[in-house]
Chain A
Amino acid sequence: MSIGKSKSILNLMGKMSDRILSKIFSYTVFLLFTVFTIFPLVWLFYSSLKPKAEYLMDQLALPKAWTITNFVDALSVEKTNLVLFMGNSVIYTFSSTLLVILFAMMASFAFSKLPFKKTSAVFYSLFGLGLLITVQALLIPLFLFLRTVGLYDTHAGIILPYVAINLPLAVFLGTTYMRELPDSMIEAAEMDGAGKWLVFLRIIFPMCEPVIVTMGIMTVLACWNEFLFVFIFTASDATRSLPVGIYSFSGETATEYGVQFAALVIGIVPMIITYALFHKRITYGMVAGAIKG
């Protein structure tokens, strides 16, 4: 009896130390990650509000004389073009996203709800191959192509590649989703004399809202943060996007720490706000987008 009891106490103690150890381990890992996320961002924010002289004296201390001159400089139209770059980023992101959603929805509808299954299978797998493509394979031919057709250093010359590169995933998500939609509603509408276009606009679009949101989030994030295409396919400030603008700015102002930090803050804040507002949908969209096969 007593042996059994001590054994069960030992067991219980083992279990408790197991739990305590895994708790300590768990908190350590997550706290480390949290510190490495919060600390650089907080440091960046207050450093951007610090005069340059103070930064050179002490990189860590909070500013003694808080100042917004860095932001005034970073945003002033005479000194930098960050405002222009931000406008370009907005143009690229929104036009590309709208076109990706429209084209992907149309192609997905053709693949999933119209006859010609064999043709669809061929083109669908062609889009599927696009998921394997690395951007490096596109840089040189697209650069030559855009120069030849006169789209180098234009807005259209960025939007076109953005649409194409984001289409495969959107078509995949859209087709997978639409295949699950019941045909009965389409048939019912057609009985009432609705044409395919009307069906597409009035029935398919509203029913696809969740997948459209996912496509939208994926494309907005990808375009807003994209760097390499704009870096290579543009040459003037009139077409640069925010990431490329911030990058060149940081090269030109290597020792102007305060202004540079202000520019980084300007690049980061919109994403943090977006993430705070839509974090559930963003995480869902990115996770769903990753698991494409």
Chain B
Amino acid sequence: MKTVLKKKVNNLIIYILMLTPGLLCYLAVIAFPVVFSFVLGFTHYDLFHPEDTKFVGLGNYFTMFADPLFWRALSNNVFVILVSVFGQIPLGTIMAYILFRKMVRFRGFFQSMVFLPITISTIVVGILWKHIFSPHGLGAFLLKQLTHNPDAMFTFAVEPQTAMLPIGFVLIWLYTGFYMLVILANLQKLGDEIIEAAQIDGATEFQIFLRIIVPNLSGVIKVLSILAIAGSLKGFDLIWAMTGGGPANYTMVLPIYMYKYAFYTHHTDAYSFGSAIATFIVAVCIAIIVVVEFIGKTVKLPRRAGGKLK
């Protein structure tokens, strides 16, 4: 009896010792700050008069929704989400299928070439592409050479209507490889049998892809969409390095909007209003995850054996 109790106490001590370092770190640096930021977003906190801090309810949010810059940032974020969900994921799926069906040779080489950009620092990649898309950069030079017109202007990276296009292009170039590999891993779990059966029935590659592969991957695609949307909402580095939100805020997105308000433009309510923006980003992320989960549950695509995530 005594030894059983001793063992229990002993186990408890070990349990506490094992859990404490990680948990403490997590609570102090993640959990507590998130709650703090959430609360701060409902206050007016003046940097120079912290004693006057008062609760303003949704005040910061009303101010935010009245700011045209906020709406531009949000609409640019929607653009990034659309590029991710309807650009990167479909392209990644098609490319994974091509690799899976061995429709190209040098698969290892191609796979590395598509995936390599992700392993490089996004900031470095962003600066590199900035030099290519700049009106004095490589793109401009190539345009002049190709059109034999020394006055040809390569300005679409700095024009209001088209400033987001280079970013969309780099986003596809940068992240498609990731989706390709995740989907390829799931295709390999799916196996060849279904496809071989369909081929015997005379189905074309296109039909196989659309009728068999896509429905079977719906679970993974759902998870990847959540990842893509969340990633699109919080992505800062690439756009910051390529344009910094400019020119004239035309490539502003929510994370840059938040960063600039909180740390860059020296507003007196930088931290409380900045926290409201941050909370908005988190809230939209969670809301979208819930919606995608809900769509995934209600819209049941026909699914054959296998293909489930994990």
A sample of 9 cross-chain residue pairs with beta-carbon separation below 8 angstroms, ordered by A number, consists of A106-B17, A110-B14, A110-B15, A116-B15, A123-B19, A134-B230, A141-B34, A246-B121, A279-B112
Closest to B112 in A: A279
Q: What's the nearest-Cβ distance from chain A to residue B288, in Å?
A: 11
- Write out the residue numbers on chain A whose beta carbons fall within 8 Å of the beta carbon of B282: 132-134, 136-137
For chain B, the count of residues having a C-beta within 8 Å of the partner chain is: 99
Listed in ascending order, the chain A residues whose CB lies under 8 Å from chain B are 11, 15, 18-19, 22-23, 26-27, 29-30, 33-34, 36-38, 40, 43-44, 58-60, 102-104, 106-107, 109-110, 114-116, 119, 123, 126-127, 129-130, 132-145, 160-161, 163-165, 167-168, 171, 196-197, 200, 221, 224-225, 227-228, 232, 242-244, 246-247, 250, 257, 260-261, 264, 267-268, 271-272, 274-275, 279, 282-283, 286-287, 290-291, 293
Within B115-162, the residues touching A (CB, 8 Å) are 115-124, 127-129, 131-132, 137-138, 140-142, 145
- Write out the residue numbers on chain B whose beta carbons fall within 8 Å of the beta carbon of A196: 10-11, 14
Interface SS majority for chain B: helix
| Cross-chain contact B123 with A247 (CB below 8 angstroms) | yes
Closest to A164 in B: B29
| Cross-chain contact A130 with B26 (CB below 8 angstroms) | yes
| Cross-chain contact B182 with A30 (CB below 8 angstroms) | no
| Cross-chain contact A246 with B23 (CB below 8 angstroms) | no
Q: What's the nearest-Cβ distance from chain B to residue A105, in Å?
A: 9
| Cross-chain contact A243 with B121 (CB below 8 angstroms) | yes
- Write out the residue numbers on chain A whose beta carbons fall within 8 Å of the beta carbon of B223: 291, 293
Within B7-49, the residues touching A (CB, 8 Å) are 8, 10-12, 14-15, 17-19, 21-23, 25-26, 28-34, 36-38, 40
Q: A141-B40, A290-B182 are in contact. Are A30 and B114 (CB under 8 A)?
A: yes
| Cross-chain contact B205 with A225 (CB below 8 angstroms) | no
Listed in ascending order, the chain B residues whose CB lies under 8 Å from chain A are 8, 10-12, 14-15, 17-19, 21-23, 25-26, 28-34, 36-38, 40, 91, 94-95, 98, 103-104, 109-124, 127-129, 131-132, 137-138, 140-142, 145, 173, 176-178, 181-182, 185, 202, 204-206, 220, 223-224, 227, 230, 233-234, 236-237, 240-241, 254-255, 258-259, 262-263, 271, 274-275, 277-279, 281-282, 285-286, 289, 309-310
